[in-house]
A and B are shown apart, each in its own frame.
Chain A
Amino acid sequence: MKYLDEFRDGAIAQRLAREIRQTATRTWAIMEVCGGQTHSIVRHGLDQLLDGAVEMIHGPGCPVCVTPLELIDKALAIASHPGIIFCSFGDMLRVPGSQIDLFRVKAEGGDVRVVYSPLDALQIARQNPDREVVFFGIGFETTAPANAMAVHQAKMQRIPNFSMLVSHVLVPPAIEAIMSSPTCRVQAFLAAGHVCSVMGYWQYYPLAARYKVPIVITGFEPLDLLEGIRRTVKLLEAGTPQVENAYERAVTFEGNQAAQKLLAEVFEVSDRSWRGIGEIPRSGWKLSAAYRDFDAEQRFSVADIRANGSPICRSGEVLQGNLKPNECAGFGKQCTPRHPLGATMVSTEGACAAYYNYGRFVAVDSIR
């Protein structure tokens, strides 16, 4: 496959991994921020190639995982309203709220639909003018432009029966929150390539300078990840906490200006609660005043719903890299992918689920 196979070459991967192992004089703790990168690392077994040189700490970059319980309860309340068509990306359906999940709402007669783009939800709203259509707009800066476009079009095209339940979160404030934690072990970051393709990477310079950490913008394919890690380790060894772009084929310094302009119009920065971490100031987006009519939280009066997480779950510490998933007392016992207690066990990209599904296996006999 063009543009994929080139970045999945096993021989080059081995070479990069060898170079990383040779360069590292100690084990460096590097956090990949994005859940997509976590998925790719475990999916391709990259962490095993780097054993001893790098400890990968899986960060809070899975949008499904960090969506607060409260917001999921709000989504469930809205989706349970008779007559509403509730649209979501597929992996949000399994995320448990305080009591149930969207699958259960669907089974009990709720009209819950999986869509691949918020624009599909908008299309459903056009086709069903007599019904309210709500899209669950979650994600980092990566999914934000498409969500912004859906709301923008709904306003321009006067589609009053469309609204969005927004839970957008931002990467730089999360990095800042992690670095300012007194127990922080992270020595460098792989910044999420797709986020940077939208936002550019100028925002990372002040962070690298303030916390003296290298930040390397990194892609998602195995070779992209290994190259990002290789450059990070070189910066760590040299003691130069700089920002570097290792994903040049997709990311520019300024990012996607047209997308940023739309984002600035549709959204405004707000405080956000992160599941497992708690409130981080100015770490998310909500709909701006001009688009507030499309805010599902207001439209369906669910703003007052409150929720508390499980007392056993320590996903917050896992998300911050202070705890390995299997060090949590609930891991694999009360908390499994089938009965997840916390955010990180929910999505396949979540650090605990990835660890449960893929990480338990140590060595494999050589095969014919």
Chain B
Amino acid sequence: MSTILRPDFSKWSCPLPLRDYPSIVLGHGGGGQLSSELIEHIFVPAFRNTALEVMADSSVLPRPGGRLAFSTDSYVVQPLFFPGGSIGDLAVNGTVNDLAMSGARPLYLSAGFILEEGFPLSQLAAIVDRMGAAARAAEVQIVTGDTKVVEKGHGDGCYINTAGVGVIEDYIHIDPTRAQAGDVVILSGTIGDHGMAIMSVREGLEFETVIESDSAALHTMVASLLEFAPHIHVLRDPTRGGLGSTLNEIAGKSRVGIVIDERRLPVAPDVQSACELLGMDPIYVPNEGKLVAIVDPSVAEDVLARMRQHEHGHKAAMIGTVTASNPGMLAAKTAMGGTRMIPLQIGEQIPRIC
């Protein structure tokens, strides 16, 4: 985890009495001087780009060619900082990935903050700094934003909403209804890392090793795959509900069955151990830096090879196939040679008693 940054107070244009607020006060959301200074000294330096710096009511952007992908997501993770990432990285990478999963090249993001009165400015600055860094790494611009402040006790420190637009080339058609019998299911790496990283810090569980979140932007991996195989049928990032929920949704929307081989599922040993301890199934544990590609068998080997060349895809694996039988269902061949159904969970996975 990076060190927590402090906001740069040295260049404040109007130092008094604003310097006296080390944390968010209601006035920071009031649209007055406090709001302006938050933008000027925290948001703009971190997100710096010409569209943002105009500071108009909306950002005016050039019209890109191709079709537009548009997505939004809200981030309420606790704790705000965790091994391997922060709410800031998630807010950028999550929306970037949502755009990338329809084959889009992400271009612009918005960032909306709901801050709780009393939230330390130093933490906000650190979060915003991480967002800026994630946006630069992903080559997207945060071009518009908003901040609201809620009274103490009415929020959880900091919530972030990001929305994003990207552009899709005309020849690319990726959506969750396009899985076909015979297709191969390829997973870009280990499952369960993010969920168990959050759980271990949130619940104060002490494992021998620190499990790190896999939070990462995957659009460059997607671009590399599409360059070679523009006819990928489905791409999804298995976030909430994990791989099990994502594959169930694809099976449902494409009206096909999906069968995976559990022996081929990559799970890091520490994640597996933590799951065993808590009675959880890694297949339902959230990920923030993985994708599932469903492709025609003729390109499967090459897609896998490309995925493995990418920095976030070294452990990619072919994990299963799409079948015409049992539409809407996900099943797994177990390591013991049996089979089991993997149904959609009703709610969040809960640790079991024994």
Contacts and interface: CB of A to CB of B under 8 A. Distances in A.
A and B physically associate = yes
Interface of A: 1, 4, 8, 10, 13-14, 17, 35-36, 39, 42-49, 63-64, 89-94, 103, 114, 116, 138-139, 142-143, 194, 222, 337-338, 347-349, 356-361, 363-365, 367-368
A45 B259 contact: no
A138 to B, nearest CB: 7
Nearest to B181: A365
Interface stretch (B38-46, B223-231, B323-331): B323-331
A13 B350 contact: no
B341 A359 contact: yes
B61 to A, nearest CB: 41
13 contacts: A39-B352, A43-B340, A44-B338, A48-B339, A63-B353, A91-B350, A138-B353, A348-B352, A349-B352, A359-B341, A364-B331, A364-B339, A367-B333
Given A8-B336, A357-B343, A360-B341, A367 B261 contact: yes
Given A1-B272, A92-B353, 8 more contacts: A14-B337, A43-B334, A93-B350, A116-B205, A139-B353, A347-B352, A361-B339, A365-B323
A13 B340 contact: no
Nearest to B278: A116
Interface of B: 184, 203, 205, 259-261, 263, 269, 272-273, 276, 278, 281, 318, 320-321, 323, 325-326, 329, 331, 333-341, 343, 346-347, 350-354
Contacts of A4: 276
A44 B336 contact: yes
Contacts of A365: 259, 321, 323, 325
Nearest to A16: B336
B184 A368 contact: yes
A8 B335 contact: yes
A91 B353 contact: yes
Given A1-B273, A364-B331, A367-B333, A94 B350 contact: yes
Given A1-B272, A1-B276, A89 B340 contact: no
Contacts of B352: 39, 89-91, 347-349
Contacts of B269: 1
Given A8-B335, A10-B263, A10-B335, A357 B341 contact: yes
A64 B350 CA distance: 13
Contacts of B203: 116
Contacts of A357: 341, 343
A52 B117 CA distance: 66
B263 to A, nearest CB: 7
A13 B346 contact: no
A359 B341 CA distance: 7
A275 to B, nearest CB: 15
Given A116-B203, A361-B331, A365-B325, A45 B337 contact: yes
A196 B345 CA distance: 32
Contacts of A90: 350-353
Contacts of A143: 353-354
B192 to A, nearest CB: 14
B36 to A, nearest CB: 38
Contacts of A8: 335-336
B354 A114 contact: no
Contacts of B323: 365
Contact of B336 (A35, A49, A91): A49
A143 B353 CA distance: 8
A361 B340 contact: yes
A45 B353 contact: no
Given A63-B353, A367-B320, A337 B336 contact: no
Given A1-B272, A46-B338, A337-B346, A364 B259 contact: yes
Nearest to B352: A91
Nearest to A94: B350
Contacts of A356: 343
B271 to A, nearest CB: 11
A361 B326 contact: yes
B187 to A, nearest CB: 14
A116 B338 contact: no
